[in-house]
Amino acid sequence: MFKFKNEKRELKRIIEAILLVAYEPVKTVAIKKVLNKSSDTIEKIIKELQEEYRKEDRGFQLKKVSGGYRFYTHHDCRDYIEKFFTSTIRGYFSQAALEVLAIIVYNQPVSRITINEIRGVRSESVISTLLSKRLIEKASKGFGPGHPILYKTTPLFLESFGLNSLKDLPPIEKFSEDIKNETHSKEENRYLNIINTKDGNRYLNVIAIDGPAGSGKSTISKELSRKLKFFYLYTGAMYRTLAYLALKREVNLYDEKALTDLTIDSPIEIENDAEHNSIIKIDGEDVTNKIFTNEVSDASSKIAIYKGIRKVLSEKQREICEKGKIVVEGRDATTVVCPDAIVKIFLYATPEERAKRRVKQLIEMGQEPPKFNELLKQIKERDERDKNREIAPLIKTEDSIYIDSTNLTVSQVVEKIINIYRKKTYVI
């Protein structure tokens, strides 16, 4: 495994250094890219590091979270760490404080009402905290009804963030292409990636839709994403693309290791066109039209059972969800990919209704539908298989909202979900 005596020690030091500087949990694949060592070797070294820290009873530990590794301070040091942060000027900034600060920085002088509008939640207490920390101050009174107080940043803000002047800040377009290109209304723009709710919980600004095959997940998700101007993430397309690649490169569909390696090495890109249809690219080549053949459908359901593949694809999907403003759809969207979505839906339709919809769809596509009873039998059998399968089984999580779409139109279902979303995010 190791070429020379000190190689392991050297690798250990490098991995330790990477983990130390990373902002987010570091996945084994990321280290693999740097070190050119197998995942097994890297995992083994990380395990050893964990064990060393544990044995030495250090003030921190190395934990596995969100599929990666990250240093955490030991819980018995918590009080001191909190004290340390609150006693320094930059202190501990909550997500809310950073949001308000960013809004003021880029819009100053700005009123409380505008800040509330941009964030979509009341920000009075955060503004008071920032005032008390002397990071912002009252600028002047604005125009308009009541002459609202306007806020701006202070010289202490510049000092605390290591800036000479506000000109040192990057132009907002530089790190927010999205905002530059937004044509949405103000209300739609309120939501970025994280939503803090009244109960103090934090959710991703994501609508996750799960449910049995043929329940209308794709149709509903696409329409919903169009209406909300969200990104439509069709997870099934990724399984399909991988299956297409496996067939093209003649990878054995039963060789889990080879398929997992293919998943790791394949840069699958998923985009939306203007109509929010999914566009799939591999190495820049558009393969969207190639992934819906019967052969690919069949292969995708075969490869979707492998843990390794699911892990890599779910991680990619999760990364996309973390950007917020996403409608994610697929078997495991609510359970694995985005359990902290602000809205989780379990979309159902009776097997009879799903069989009817499938017949209609095949006729529209100019294909000969199978006998109705045969189709119904297949659907019921597939439901049973899906419910009982070991990996990513079809289940409704406790906090998912059940929608039976059997007697509803597409727009009725979409409206229902939008209402749920608005209620949850306190927008009327």
Interface residues toward ligand DC, by CB under 6 A: 235-236, 239-240, 300-301, 304, 330-332, 392
Q: Which helix (H) or strand (E) holds 146?
A: none
Quote the distance between the C-alpha of residue 409 and its chain's center: 28
From the CB of 229, what's the least distance to ligand DC, in Å?
23
Q: Which residue number, 115 or 291, has a Cβ lying nearer to ligand DC?
A: 291
Q: Which residue number, 306 or 421, has a Cβ lying nearer to ligand DC?
A: 306
Q: Which residue number, 120 or 330, has a Cβ lying nearer to ligand DC?
A: 330
From the CB of 200, what's the least distance to ligand DC, in Å?
30
User: Distances in Å between the alpha carbon of 130 and those of 94, 133, 140, 416?
Assistant: 11, 5, 17, 39
Q: Which helix (H) or strand (E) holds 346?
A: strand 341-348
Residue keyed to tokens 């101007």: 229
Q: Please state, in angstroms and rounded to a whole number, the distance separating the CA atoms of residues 264 and 29.
A: 8
Rg (CA), the chain: 25
- Looking at residue 337, the DSSP 8-state letter turns out to be I
Q: Which residue number, 27 or 310, has a Cβ lying nearer to ligand DC?
A: 310
From the CB of 297, what's the least distance to ligand DC, in Å?
7
Long-range contacts of 162-165 (CB under 8 A, 24+ apart): none
Single-letter residue type at 309: I
Nearest CA-CA partner of 227 in 276, 180, 160: 276
At residue 359's C-alpha, the angle toward residues 358 and 360, to 5°, is 90
N-term to C-term CA, the chain: 60
From the CB of 213, what's the least distance to ligand DC, in Å?
6
From the CB of 391, what's the least distance to ligand DC, in Å?
8
From the CB of 389, what's the least distance to ligand DC, in Å?
9
Q: Which residue number, 114 or 235, has a Cβ lying nearer to ligand DC?
A: 235
Q: Which residue number, 196 or 301, has a Cβ lying nearer to ligand DC?
A: 301
Single-letter residue type at 123: S
DSSP labels for 166-209?
Answer: GGGSPPHHHH-HHHHH----HHHHT--SEEE-TTS-EEEEEEEE
Q: Which residue number, 119 or 240, has a Cβ lying nearer to ligand DC?
A: 240
From the CB of 408, what's the least distance to ligand DC, in Å?
20
Q: Which helix (H) or strand (E) holds 311?
A: helix 307-321
Q: Which residue number, 104 or 262, has a Cβ lying nearer to ligand DC?
A: 262
Q: Which helix (H) or strand (E) holds 233?
A: strand 231-234
Q: Which residue number, 240 or 325, has a Cβ lying nearer to ligand DC?
A: 240
Q: Please state, in angstroms and rounded to a whole number, the distance separating the CA atoms of residues 406 and 395.
A: 19
Q: What count of other Cβ atoms lies within 10 Å of the Cβ of residue 424?
A: 15
From the CB of 361, what's the least distance to ligand DC, in Å?
13
From the CB of 317, what's the least distance to ligand DC, in Å?
7
In 3-state terms, what secondary structure has residue 24?
coil
- Within 8 A by CB and 6+ apart from 235, the residues are 313, 317, 328, 329, 330, 331, 332, 333, 337
User: Distances in Å between the alpha carbon of 129 and those of 94, 133, 136, 200?
Assistant: 11, 6, 9, 17
From the CB of 255, what's the least distance to ligand DC, in Å?
18
From the CB of 26, what's the least distance to ligand DC, in Å?
25
Q: Which residue number, 62 or 304, has a Cβ lying nearer to ligand DC?
A: 304
Q: Which residue number, 119 or 276, has a Cβ lying nearer to ligand DC?
A: 276
- Going by their DSSP bridges, the two strands 401-404 and 231-234 should be labelled as unpaired
Tell me the two tokens of residue 81: 């760490």
